């Protein structure tokens, strides 16, 4: 297996779990994020160093790329200067994203709104446009990370929900425009998953972040990585257009059944 996957936001959560999953299947990995040290540590581990008994099935190479997806210049520069052998990208996983704050519309911090739109929407567009020339040559696949918050709005979800509705719309539109190139476009909409997501959302307030996952078993990052891997492993003529996945205790973006 010599396929190449580019995963944005590979320093944590779903992106990091995907890196491990695809590495174990022998993919070559381009991993991106802003936290350079985490990318370097992951590279060392996946290329063999600390992989241990559950290590990769085949030799894995990792190309770490440090950039902020909000910075169009950095995105373009990093991706246009890829070494020739890394340009044969078969799969782009647009995963980098975040929520900031959970506040009533009239009280929410407008800088948080800007950051979410810049990251979740504009960042995804910048990366997609930069990678598409390579994907088109490979007749590859794009997998975008939406959310249940992109299918249904909830109180105080305002702009985070809007940004994920945008990811859903962009995914549908990409799928239509990519028909002529034979590129599969998939969007995964997970429910609550216990990653660093809530710590970021609540700006380092660990107690508040922990409360989000109390009284039930949320999705794990590996559950989402398994689903993404499934969508990437189907026969050439089969495309999962969208997948909504939650833990058993969650029905949609609003309804949970929690032990009190
Ligand atoms: P984490 O906080 O664990 O990971 C987020 C990743 O995104 C990190 O690797 C981070 O890397 C990267 N990232 C954030 N901002 C930027 C930026 N400006 N430039 C580059 N990379 C960035 O969260 P999750 O793994 O949970 O989230 C991954 C995706 O899944 C997000 O799009 C999120 O909205 C979505 N999602 C999450 C759910 C959940 O409950 N956890 C449920 C549904 C969807 P770094 O900080 O190093 O740049
Ligand atoms: C993350 C899931 O429910 O916090 O997209 O919006 S939720």
Task: Tell me the ligand closest to 195's alpha carbon.
Answer: 1
Distance CA 159, CA 99 (A): 9
CA of 148 to the centre of ligand 2 (A): 6
82 lines ligand 2 (CB under 6 A): no
The one catalytic residue among 27, 126, 134, 160 = 160
Distance CA 142, CA 6 (A): 10
Q: Under a CB-based contact definition with an 8 Å cutoff, are residues 31 and 19 in contact?
A: yes
Distance CA 3, CA 49 (A): 21
Specify the pTM. 0.97
Residues 6+ apart with CB under 8 A from 200: 98, 99, 100
Distance CA 186, CA 135 (A): 14
CA of 15 to the centre of ligand 1 (A): 8
Q: Which residues pair with 94 in a beta bridge?
A: 144
Query: φ and ψ at 64, to 5 degrees?
Result: -85, 135
Count CA within 13 A, CB hemisphere, residue 23: 26
160 given a catalytic annotation? yes
Distance CA 260, CA 255 (A): 15
Q: Which residues pair with 29 in a beta bridge?
A: 5, 62
Question: Which residues surround ligand 1 with Cβ inside 6 Å?
Answer: 8-15, 33-35, 68-70, 95-98, 119, 123, 145, 147, 190, 192-193, 195-197, 200
Please give the structure tokens belonging to residue 61: 């190479």
Task: Tell me the ligand closest to 67's alpha carbon.
Answer: 1
Say which DSSP state 247 is in. Answer: -
Q: Is 203 helix (H, G, I), strand (E, B) or coil?
A: coil
Distance CA 165, CA 163 (A): 5
Please state whether beta strands 91-94 and 4-7 pair in parallel, antiparallel, or not at all (unpaired): parallel
192 lines ligand 2 (CB under 6 A): yes
* Closest-lying ligand 2 atom to the alpha carbon of residue 147: 5
Question: How do the pLDDT tens digits run along the chain, 260 residues long?
Answer: 589 999 999 999 999 999 999 999 999 999 999 999 999 999 999 998 544 445 545 699 999 999 999 999 999 999 999 999 999 999 999 999 999 999 999 999 999 999 999 999 999 999 999 999 999 999 999 999 999 999 999 999 999 999 999 999 999 999 999 999 999 999 999 999 999 999 999 999 999 999 999 999 999 999 999 999 999 999 999 999 999 999 999 999 999 999 97
Task: Give CA torsion, residues 82, 85, 91, 97, to 10 deg.
Answer: -30
231 lines ligand 2 (CB under 6 A): no
Cα end-to-end span (Å), the chain: 48
CA of 254 to the centre of ligand 2 (A): 10
Please give the structure tokens belonging to residue 84: 């020739």
């Amino acid at each position: 297996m010599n396929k190449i996957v580019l995963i944005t936001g590979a320093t944590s959560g779903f992106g990091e779990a995907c890196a491990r999953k695809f590495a174990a299947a022998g993919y070559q990995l381009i991993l991106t994020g802003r936290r350079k040290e985490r990318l370097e540590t992951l590279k060392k581990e996946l290329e063999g160093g600390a992989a241990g008994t559950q290590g990769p099935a085949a030799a894995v190479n990792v190309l770490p790329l440090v950039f902020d997806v909000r910075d169009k210049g950095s995105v373009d520069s990093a991706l246009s200067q890829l070494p020739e052998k890394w340009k044969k990208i078969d799969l782009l996983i647009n995963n980098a994203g975040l929520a900031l704050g959970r506040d009533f519309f009239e009280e929410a911090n407008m800088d948080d709104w800007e950051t979410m739109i810049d990251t979740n929407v504009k960042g995804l567009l910048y990366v997609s446009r930069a990678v598409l020339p390579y994907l088109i040559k490979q007749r590859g696949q794009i997998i975008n990370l939406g959310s249940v918050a992109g299918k249904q709005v909830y109180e105080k979800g305002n702009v985070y929900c809007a940004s994920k509705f945008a990811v859903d719309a962009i995914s549908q539109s990409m799928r239509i425009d990519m028909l002529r190139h034979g590129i599969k476009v998939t969007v995964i909409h997970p429910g609550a998953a216990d990653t660093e997501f809530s710590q970021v959302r609540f700006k380092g307030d660990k107690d508040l972040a922990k409360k989000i996952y109390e009284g039930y078993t949320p999705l794990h990052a590996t559950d989402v990585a398994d689903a993404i891997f499934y969508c990437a492993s189907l026969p050439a003529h089969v495309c999962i257009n969208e997948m909504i996945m939650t833990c058993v205790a969650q029905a949609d973006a609003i309804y949970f059944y929690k032990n009190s």
